[in-house]
Chain A
């Protein structure tokens, strides 16, 4: 009898969660109580990382230093080109009498854990309310869009990756401006373009960028590259597989983006 009561309570929670009826408060309360557990998990890992760095040999440090200097030089060259492009953009915007959008603030945050429960793609980052993080904030890495913040704690937050089946990202095809939506696919770490008509001008190799629609992700950031297209006569839409640009479950540092002014 008691088992039946607990089963019924579970069903009530599941149905309430599906209809978004107050389960957020329960999740927040339990998450607050579990912060000591998450701190205990994080503490040895962060010290292990420091220990590993302290034990690096001089040669390894020299090699890493040279590689970082070369990468810095390349990035500085790219930044110089970007300044020129921004100036041109500002002049063109002034000609069209359009309001120029200034780039938003960014902040780096360390990835604490990656959650890989069945069909759940989330990660925890070391940044929270104390750092100005807010729900719905865009999260990127060095190469593309990672996801968005879904739960914010005091010093840590949970990020839903774009490869999660519950996430959808509005995109634009860089080649021809075609707009679509990228969703998380059930296959490991892949993305898929949703509801692509068979006549859509999408090719393998097309770069997909955020379109800015929905105002969650700033426009122009890489989401992925079209990897494969399968058109079947007995299906209404094409199946388009997309390879994500970001290292979704490999990145150890992420960038939090604030909206531009």
Chain B
């Protein structure tokens, strides 16, 4: 019993460690310079990792992790402190509540749900940045949401590589 408990703890630590590595990679990708013409098409790597992490290993990611990741993103990008933290907390909470239902949705329906979440995320960030006014811009909301949706399956596949506990379950 004790051995089994140690094995489960080790796997939980490994899952958490894999998430932290994935988040660091996501931060690195967020900071990478993009060509001027593609600057709005950068996927939301940090949110992608968090959403995929919740769906793949919900025990390793919680709302507090999302809040901290959002705060780090606020400092890195120079946005209003708390803007990304708030938006990520809300989106990750919604995904966490629906993480058992999302995988059984039809892929198109799942894609539409995720796209709507990304639009919500960007709208919230723009709302905070605009000081209460929604400075909505199609290119700044639709482009990163679409690019995030395109890379989402691959990010999820990468996240699953480090989660053997989920496969056993």
Contact = CB atoms under 8 A, between A and B. Distances in A.
Interface of A: 2-3, 6-7, 9-14, 16-18, 23, 26-27, 30-31, 34, 37-38, 40-41, 45, 113-120, 122, 158, 186, 249-250
B125 A118 contact: yes
Given A3-B93, A17-B81, A186-B135, A34 B140 contact: no
Contact of A10 (B39, B67, B135): B67
6 contacts: A11-B82, A30-B75, A34-B27, A40-B28, A113-B31, A122-B78
A41 B81 contact: no
Interface string B30-51: 0111101001100000000000
A3 B135 contact: no
A74 to B, nearest CB: 28
Given A6-B67, A10-B85, A14-B83, A117 B27 contact: no
Given A6-B89, A10-B89, A118 B126 contact: yes
Contacts of B39: 116
Interface residues of B, number: 42
B91 to A, nearest CB: 11
Contact of A117 (B36, B77, B82, B90): B77
A10 B86 contact: yes
B81 to A, nearest CB: 5
Q: For chain A, what secondary structure do more than half of its interface residues adopt (helix, strand, loop), or is it mixed?
A: helix
Interface of B: 24, 27-28, 31-34, 36, 39-40, 62-64, 66-67, 70-72, 75-83, 85-86, 89-90, 93, 122, 125-126, 128-131, 135, 137, 140
B135 A118 contact: yes
A30 B79 CA distance: 13
Nearest to B83: A14
Given A2-B63, A115-B77, A118-B137, A41 B122 contact: no
B63 A10 contact: no
Contacts of B70: 10
B30 to A, nearest CB: 9
B63 A6 contact: yes
Contact of B80 (A14, A34, A37, A249): A14
A16 B67 CA distance: 17
Contact of A26 (B81, B131, B140): B81
A181 to B, nearest CB: 19
B31 A7 contact: no
Contacts of A41: 28, 31-32
Contacts of A34: 27, 72, 75-76
Contacts of B79: 117-118, 120
A11 B77 CA distance: 19
A120 B64 CA distance: 26
Contacts of B85: 6, 9-10, 13
Contact of A158 (B32, B71, B78): B78
A45 B28 CA distance: 12
A110 B125 CA distance: 30
